Every structure is written in structure tokens, then in C-alpha cells.
Chain A
């Protein structure tokens, strides 16, 4: 998506011009309703969300300590741990490992952090083949696109799109029957699983007490990626730890329900260390790459709470902005409400200042967040840090309005003048076109003219 316009508004306009696929709104609403049903069927959900939030808060308050303990535990089980300060370091380590082990084919299960660091590009640049094995990610890869949703990468596509893509890219006969499309992907991927020397997975959680990672999937591809190839590399965002397996159980309770409305995802794999003597399956090598890439800085910032996120995607599904513009408009791998905070804090507010502004602060995201992240509050915080990017007219307008509104007499005079102007400007109480700052409003909406007499003036007359 490198050819996309650089501004959020530009990308939105592009998306609107091209027509935002109705599948996005439909899919997001479907997941939203699924979550709601799951919540209603699980009376403990509210309390579980409180606990989940406490666990995240506790973990992040002592993240350095937990990370050190986790790394020790992984190594005790015979795994290797690599701390990557940024994307480049993470990619270098993984590509370096692949090269030194003469890897020719890498299979991957779904992982947002590897999207974040653009691992596929790095692997391909080294002349090594990499194949995504999550069905959605596989489709995205075939199409040369990026995911448009955290848990449903091809929310923007329908089965007809996929049918055409498969027929064009895989040389199969066109079909739009979901079962047949599944079979095509399964047949294609099965050979890759068996031929790959390296499997790269993400990690939904790292469990500190036993140096394990937990991987949640609905397709079972995660199990194959982590056990069939002789090398398994798990890439994990630095914040994704839970102290104990009991904590993990709480997170899994809220994760699946929030994401898809399932009680539990179909596969919840706990993977710890390489294959031990006497075990039939598993890799010879187990590596965990822990990625910082801006997270330490975020942890020390006013929006640290965004690191509580467990990537369920519920906020995307609930968000009216996301439903209308789709994931690609956000410009990075993290779309929706969570992306509006995460992207600027990981990759720089200067470049991404438009994202926090792209919200009506309706609060639908916070309402569904399994760990109760106060997203609107964080958006306002980022807006606070980027008021310099507001149009000069708005900045000046707010400054003047504040000066007037802190002087009650002046306020009454100005609002009375507004009434006089409204009488001159308005046509039947509505204004059709206002230039400059408010033109954005009147392009598609009328604006009411000020009433001839303010409430203040009415009240004064009433009293006398």
C-alpha cells in the first residue's frame, strides 16, 4: 500500500472514491453483535474484564522484572531469547538465523507484530520464500495487500473477490463456495508446512512463570507452524506478558469473547521450549524475539495504558469511523481506535497526528474493550500534544472563544451580536454555505443561524 496518499483524509477520500467495500461494515457489525451475545451469555464477563485490566496493569507496572524472569524461564527450557530494540534488529536476527540454518522456506502463522516490523519484506529481500498460513493472511499475501483488521485480515473482501484471486494466482478453476476455497488453500498450504525449515509465529501471550508462549488460532495452522518445521521463532511485542497460567486463563476468557464472540478460540496452544528427548514432535530450536520498537517509550508516556491492549479487535468492530472507512485508511497495520493511539505512540505523533483527531469521541471503543482501556481519554491526551497541527483558524477561534467565555458580560454582548448577524445571514433559520473554517460543515449540512434573541436576553425580560 505504498502508493496510498500520505494523509488520513487523503486516504479516506481515496477509499470513498473507490467505494468502501460493504463487507467491512457488515463484518464489523457481525463481530460486534457476536461479542454482545457472548457477553450476555456470560454474566461473569464484567468482573472478568476488571480482573483482566488488573493483570495488565500489574504486569506493565513491573514489566522489566517480568521480562527478565520470562527470558530466564525460556532459556531454562532450552529456548533462545533475543531482545530487539527496533524492527531492524528483529528482522536482522530472524533473517540471520534463517540464513545460517540454510532455510529456503518459512511458514508463518498470523502475527500483528511481524506485520508491524515488515518481517515478510525482510525475509523475501534475503531471497527466502515466506508463506502466510492463516487463511486471511494467506489471501492478503496473495493479493499483495496489507490486513485491514487485527483479527480478520480480509474483512474488506468477500468470497467472490477471493474466488477470483485464487483462480488468478493459484491457477485453479474459479469457485466462490467457501468450503471449496478452504480446500484449495488447505491443499496448497499443506505442502508448505511439510517443506518449511522455519516456522514463525506471533505470541498472544508470554507466560512468565513457565517461559511458554500462548498462541490462539481458529484454524490450527498455528500448531503446524510451531511444530512441523525444525526451527520455531515466536515474535512477541514486549508488553504481551502475563505472570501466571491462572492469569492467562482470565485473558483467554475475555479475548475470544471480545474478538469473535466465541467462548474460547478453537485452538489455544501453549508452546514451551524445543522438542525434548523422547517427544515425537516439535522443533529442534525455539527462539523468542521480544520486540520493543517504541514500546519502552510508550510505557513511559501519558498514553502507557494503550499497552494493556490484547489485540482482540473489539474496538474496531464497535467503531463507527472504522465501519465507514475500513482498515487501510489508517495507514499502518493497527487500524481502528486502538491504532489511533498505538500508531502515533509507537511511530511518532508528528507523522501520525491526524489519527487521534479522527474520532468523534463517542466512546463505543471503551465500552467494549476487554481490559477497559480509556481510549477516548488517550485520544484527547494525544490531541493535547498535537494542537499545533490544528488549522490556524481553529486554534485562533478556540483562543478567542475562551477569552470571550471567561468574561460573562462580553459573552452576552457577543452572543447578542451573533443573534443580529444571524437575522441578516439566515434564510429561514438555516445557513446553506459558510466559507473557510465551517465550509467542511456546510458542504453536506445546513447550519442553523443564531436565534434572533439569546436565552440570556429572554431571561432578562422574563424577570423584569
Chain B
């Protein structure tokens, strides 16, 4: 019997990019794990937390902890920012409630961002990606990068898969998404996005790969509006060789 892993897909993947979830299942199964999907999962609470709505964030974070703490094995998330929420911020939110402090500690210790898990824990060998005749570049998502130290893992997986990413100038500079920031401060948010898009165009890539659908949704939404041929795709879809990504 293979080792179980728990998949936490995130609310954005669940509703907007289910194909990223499917690709994640494929990758984890290819790596030899039995994927379980705790069915009562909803949202980790990050949008509320970042906005300063701590009461709502706490409620959602507790719901997430209740669901995940009742399971066994590594918890895998195809998102750097949701993983950072569960690993770093959820324990902060639970301070003062000893039962949930304990739960958040246990859950945080089991939680990994997908590429982090595949490289650091599972030692996965990727057999080959299928993105046609594409040139990829990698955009580092801020919370995965600065919160969890995820940078080399996704790049290595892409290289192993034969789609070595071309360098992106300012790969560690924010694309301007930032959750509610993108709708509350659209002027700055889109100015940052325009800078990012210019760097992507200058890189020569036609496929932007990342570990967070939120950032990719932002960059992809801008590319689409500007009529660009450049597409965005979550790394799980690239690595799993899914030919029909929904990212764009």
C-alpha cells in the first residue's frame, strides 16, 4: 500500500482552475503516492487575513485545520501563498487558543508546497513535460519565494522535464496581484503588472510558468487584455503534460 498524501487544492483551483488540481493528482500518483482529498476543505482564509479581517480569517483557518488535522500524511498544496498561510500565518492567528495552536502546529509541520514536496521530500524524477514547442520562463511568486524559500525546486523540475526556463529579469519582483490590493489599488497593481509583462516579453518566452494560479491569473489576465500570444500555466500542468490547460 503506497503512502497517502492529502491534497489541499485551494479555493481558486477548485473553482477557476480545476485542471491544476487534476494535474497535481497525476504528478503525485506518478511519484508513487496515494492521493486523498479531504472533501470538506474550502478556503485557507488568506484573502481575509491579508485584508486585515482577522475574525473571518480565523473562522476559515479553523475550518481548514479541523479538516486537515483529521487526516494523515503530508499535506500538499499547489500554491506557495496558501501553503505559506497555513505554515506561517495560521499559527499566528490561533494564538490564545491552546487547542488550535496545537492543531495549527501539527498541520503546519505536515504542509508542503507542491514543488517543494516533489523535490525536497519525494525526490521525484520528472519524465518529460508536454508543452509543444514552447519556451518557458519562471515567475517566482512572492509568498512561496520569501515565505517558504521556493525558487530552485520548480526550476529544477522544469529543467528535468526538458523545458529549461529562460531567465526572467526581476523574477523575484511582485507582479502586483496581492489579493484585495489588486481591486482596491488597481492603478499601482496594474502598473506593476505592466512592468512584469514587459520583462516577460523581453525574456523571449511564450509560456510563463509559476507555482501560484493567483499570480498567473493576474499576469495572464493582463496578457489576454493586451492581446499577447504569451500564455501562463501552473507548473503542475506543465509537468503532468496536460495538453489542455485552463490557465489560458
Q: Please give the residue numbers on chain A whose beta carbons come within 8 Å of chain B beta carbons, in ascending order.
A: 9, 12-13, 16, 320-321, 324-325, 356-364, 366-367, 380-387, 390-391, 394-395, 398-399, 401-402, 404-406, 408, 411, 415, 418-419, 429-430, 437-438, 440-441, 443-451, 453-456, 458-459
Contacts and interface: CB of A to CB of B under 8 A. Distances in A.
B195 interface: yes
A321 B224 contact: no
Contact of A408 (B41, B173, B187, B189): B41
B183 A441 contact: yes
A402 B220 CA distance: 27
B142 A383 contact: no
B120 interface: no
A399 B56 contact: yes
Contacts of B153: none
B138 interface: no
Nearest to A414: B15
A411 B184 CA distance: 25
B186 interface: yes
B184 A367 contact: no
B50 A444 contact: no
Contact of B50 (A364, A380, A450): A380
A455 B221 contact: no
Interface string B215-231: 00110111011000000
A325 B49 CA distance: 26
B24 to A, nearest CB: 10
B92 to A, nearest CB: 8
A363 B147 CA distance: 8
Contacts, number: 199
A448 B16 contact: yes
A363 B146 contact: yes
Contact of A357 (B173, B181, B190): B181
A182 to B, nearest CB: 32
Contact of B188 (A321, A390, A419, A437): A321
A405 B188 contact: no
Given A13-B187, A405-B42, A398 B146 contact: no
5 contacts: A324-B192, A357-B181, A430-B224, A448-B217, A454-B18
A379 to B, nearest CB: 9
Contact of B186 (A405, A444, A458): A444
A406 B183 contact: no
Nearest to A402: B56
B184 A320 contact: no
Contacts of A367: 146
Contacts of A451: 15-19, 246
Contacts of B47: 398, 401
B71 to A, nearest CB: 14
A399 B195 CA distance: 34
B143 A363 contact: yes
Contact of B39 (A383, A386, A445, A456): A456
A411 B42 CA distance: 7
A364 B146 CA distance: 8
A82 to B, nearest CB: 38
Given A359-B181, A445-B190, 5 more contacts: A320-B192, A362-B142, A401-B48, A449-B16, A459-B39
Interface in B1-46: 9, 11, 13-19, 21-22, 37, 39-43, 45
Given A359-B181, A398-B56, A455-B18, A406 B51 contact: no
Contacts of B94: none
A446 B184 contact: no
B15 A454 contact: yes
